[in-house]
Structures are given as structure tokens and as C-alpha cells.
Amino acid sequence: MSEPAPPGRKRPRVTVAPAPPTSVPSERPRPKVVVAPSPPFLLDFFPLQGAGQTRLSRFYDRLKEGRVSTTCCPRDGEVHWPPRVACPICHGEELEWIDLPEHGRIYAFSAVLGGAPLGMEADVPFAVGLVDLAGSPLRLFGRIVGRPWTALKIGDEVRLESYPLADGRSFYRFRAVG
């Protein structure tokens, strides 16, 4: 029986060690690792594409049809890239959708040799570049596939194409041709 501590004095702290486990399993069940079908939202390279998520869902609907398109203002003829919900020149919101030219030439390119975005680690090395679209004022940035980056040259012809992502979305890219 211990005496109560005198007033004003702290009782010494007593640390009690946890009791040892009665039995140690030879192999603990491991937690099941679930691989997400796509990267977390904030690390997702590709935009959300539904009508509830973006006012530019038509762009993605058309991508799924194999058409890479953008908006054009019927008032001043301005062709936008990326597509817009309002014209940056006249602020009009009555825009038309036009298909982009299928062909272009590489204006500049580079290679991703490391530090690829999440979900693209297995693709390294791969090429990205700027492409001048034939007969259009637009110069688009995108990934270039179809040839190793070491075999690409400035001025090479590429084709603009849409392609499906694993999770049902679509995106666009360039494919080296010729």
C-alpha cells in the first residue's frame, strides 16, 4: 500500500511496458495493395473530360470520334488553341468547332529521359515537341510517337491523332510518318 503523495509534489511517472504477445505469427498477413486505375486527381496529367467537369467536353467527345478539333470565332475568324468557351478577341461565346489539320511538321522537340509524369514512367524515353500544323496558324505541343526520339529531326512530318486512354478518356498526340 503506497502513501498518497504530499500535496504540491508530483508523483513519479510510472511507465508500464506492454505485455509481450502470447504468440508471434510466423507470417503476418500483408495488407492488400490496390493499384489505382489512374493517378490521383492532383497528379493526373490528363484533364477530366465530362460535361459535368468541363465546358469544353465537346472537344473530348470529338476526340473519341477520332477528331482533333478546336474552336473558331465566326465574328472575327480567330482560331483558338486550346479551344475556348469565349473568344479572347471579341468575348463572344457563340463559337464554332473546326477539325484541325491532320498533318504538320516538327518545329522543335525534346526527349523525356527521366522524371516522367505519373503513369508514364514505363514509357521513358519518349519525345515531346511543338508541331506546326499544315495550313494553320497553330503550333501545338504534344507527345510524338511512332519513332525513337533519337531518329526524329526538326521538320519531320507528323500526323495529329486521337487515342484512347486506359480509363476510357481520350487525348491527342503526334505520330511520325514517312
- Site residues, Zn ion (CB under 5 A): 73, 75-76, 87, 89-90, 92
Report strand pairing: 170-176 vs 139-145: parallel
CB of 44 to Zn ion, least distance (A): 32
Q: Which is nearer to Zn ion, 77 or 135 (CB)?
A: 77
HSE-up (13 A, CA, CB side) for residue 46: 19
Compare residues 49 and 69 and give the one whose CB is closer to Zn ion.
Answer: 69
Q: CB of residue 79 vs Zn ion: minimum separation in angstroms? A: 10
- Phi, psi for 56 (deg, rounded to 5): -105, 30
Q: Is the Cβ of residue 96 or residue 167 nearer to Zn ion in the bound state?
A: 96
Min separation Cβ 71 and Zn ion, Å: 10
Q: Kindly provide the b/e burial profile for residues 75-96, where b requires at least 16 CB atoms within 10 angstroms of the residue's own CB.
A: eeebbbeebbeebeeeeeeebe
Closer of 73 and 152 to Zn ion (Cβ) = 73
* CA distance between the termini of the chain: 94
Give least dist CB 58 to Zn ion, A.
18
Of 113, 131, 132, 133, give the one whose Cα is nearest residue 123: 113
